[in-house]
Amino acid sequence: MFRVDDYVVYGLTGVCKITDIEMDKIDDEESEFYVLNPVFSDNMTIKIPVNNATARMRKTITKEEALSLIDMIPEQETVWLKDNRERSEKFKAALKTGKSEEWVKIIKTIYEEKKEMATIGKKLSKSDEDIFKTAEKQLHEELAIALGISPDEVSDYIFQRISNDK
């Protein structure tokens, strides 16, 4: 069970803070709800039943887990699927897992393909670009919370940490 002030990753909404746990009625049945507020976007409140076993919600990673995740990026294997539909489905399924390791795989795979395509004067498809941005947003938000920095600082932090290891 989560507590008030816990940071959680909720589906593709991103990092949220549990601001309250309250009783509310749905269909004349009173239940306990987590009240979530996305940390990096305003004016939204989400209520999730505490007993909802299917809610894709987990605690954010710790600073140690974040550093470990960053340190494994250079060794992360990438597999680019040539078939657009198959690749899109695989990436979307990986996004929905809510696992930061999966987001790293997506980002690195698309990033490397983007660099490769640039050498021959081509660009990524809109679908790949959108998936890349979603994975990057999710990862950067979670790493920002874990590392105590802003999401805008995460890319520089990662590149600096990885280049210092060489």
Kindly report, residue by residue over 60-104, the tens digit of the pLDDT: 999 999 999 999 999 999 989 999 999 999 999 999 999 999 999
CATH architecture of the domain 63-164 equals: Up-down Bundle (1.20)
| pLDDT band at residue 165 under the 50/70/90 scheme | low
Q: What is the pLDDT of residues 109-144, one digit of tens each?
A: 999 999 999 999 999 999 999 999 999 999 999 999
Domain with CATH 1.20.58.1290 in the chain: 63-164
Q: Please, what is the average pLDDT of the chain? A: 93
Q: Residue 166: what pLDDT?
A: 54
CB 15 within 8 A of CB 137: no
Residues forming CATH 2.40.10 domain(s) in the chain? 7-59
- Confidence (pTM): 0.90
Q: Mean pLDDT, to the nearest integer, of 153-165?
A: 91
Considering the segment(s) 7-59 as one domain, its CATH architecture is: Beta Barrel (2.40)
The tokens for 15 are: 């990092």
Residue 61: Cβ-neighbour burial (10 angstroms; 0-12, 13-18, 19+) = buried
Q: Which are the contacts of 89, defined by CB distance < 8 A and separation ≥ 6?
A: none
Tell me 35's DSSP state: E
